Every structure is written in structure tokens, then in C-alpha cells.
Amino acid sequence: MANSASNAPAGQGARSAKVVPLPARAPERLVGVGFRCWLAGLSTGDIKCWEEAWNTFSGMLGPEKAKTLLLDLSKFVRAVKANAQRDIEISPAGCRSFCRDECLAISIIAACQHGERQALKASVSALIGSEDIGDTLNGAIALAAALRSTNQLLCADSVCPATCGLRASRRRLM
């Protein structure tokens, strides 16, 4: 079951999120796991969440590239958290699946990298629950560019319509 990182007014119940297996591709995994870990860290203050993000990024890319990417990831996740008008859901640490909101985060970064403006705007709006997407969009663009600079290009198939947020065929582990 997905955890909820609360940004909504008190009294709003968390909805149940569908989950799909983690993608086998490193760029999508970096974005999804990084988003999960960083948001969990911001919500709980538990340094273990940020350590998990660091270990994932530095293990895949080395410490120098990880340092740069985590700074941009942090800006993106902080913008999501600050601008969200609803609860953002994340799967528990170590979960081998992504929930809808984690898939939307992946879709946002993929849409940035592939110039899919309409899908980008729809995905950001769906994730934060608002049409006021400016700060979140800026954070996403910076993260997408940083990933591209380290040759971490998300697949064009990772761009999903915001209405579904999921595409199970591309979320299977190999």
C-alpha cells in the first residue's frame, strides 16, 4: 500500500494508489526511487530516506554525478511538496513497485526530455492537483536537463497521459 506525504488540508483522506513493478531501465528507476526517497525524507525527517537516494544514485552513477543530480532532484521534489494541493502518495521504502504519483513524476521528467509539452503540463497538474505549475515545472526542467547531461535519458514511452499515470507494459523488471 502506498504512503501519503501530506500536503492537503486536514481531514482529506488518502486514496488508494495502484502500483506497478519498477522499470528495469536505470533512468526511470533513478527518478522514481529518488522521488520516493526524497519526498519520504522531507515528510519524515528521517535521514535514512536521503541515504537510500544517495546510495541508489551513487551506486549507478558514481559520487560526483550523484551529487549534482540529487541537488536537482531535491529542488524538483521540494517544488512538488510546496505546490501540491493534495496528498502525494509514495510507496514504502524498498517496495519493488511504483504507485501512480511516482509514475507521474517519471512521466514529467520523460516529457521534459522529449519535448512533450501537453503531456508535461497535464502530468504536473495531475501530480500537484493544481493548474499553478510554474515552480514545479521549473524544477522538473532542471532535473531533466541534469539527467540528460549524465546520459540518463528516459524512454519516450515513459511519457504517460496524466489520466492514467501508469503504463504497466513498461514497468516490468527484467
Q: What is the pLDDT of residues 148-167, one digit of tens each?
A: 999 999 999 898 754 344 44
d(CA 94, CA 112): 27
Extract the C-alpha cell encoding 70: 540529487
Provide the pLDDT confidence category of residue 84 given band limits of 50, 70 and 90: very high
92: number of Cβ within 10 Å:
12
**Count of beta carbons in the 10 Å neighbourhood of residue 85:** 12
Residue 60 CB: number of other CB atoms within 10 A?
17
Do residues 159 and 114 make contact, with C-beta atoms less than 8 angstroms apart?
Answer: yes
Residue 95: closest CA among 43, 164, 19, 24: 19
Q: Which helix (H) or strand (E) holds 120?
A: helix 117-128
pLDDT of 3 > 70? The answer is no
The pLDDT of residue 1 is: 42
Amino acid at 169: S
Mean pLDDT of the chain: 84
Grid coordinates given for 26 = 536505470
Collapsing DSSP to helix, strand or coil, 3 comes out as strand
Give the model's pLDDT for residue 25. 85
In this prediction, residue 4 carries a pLDDT of 56
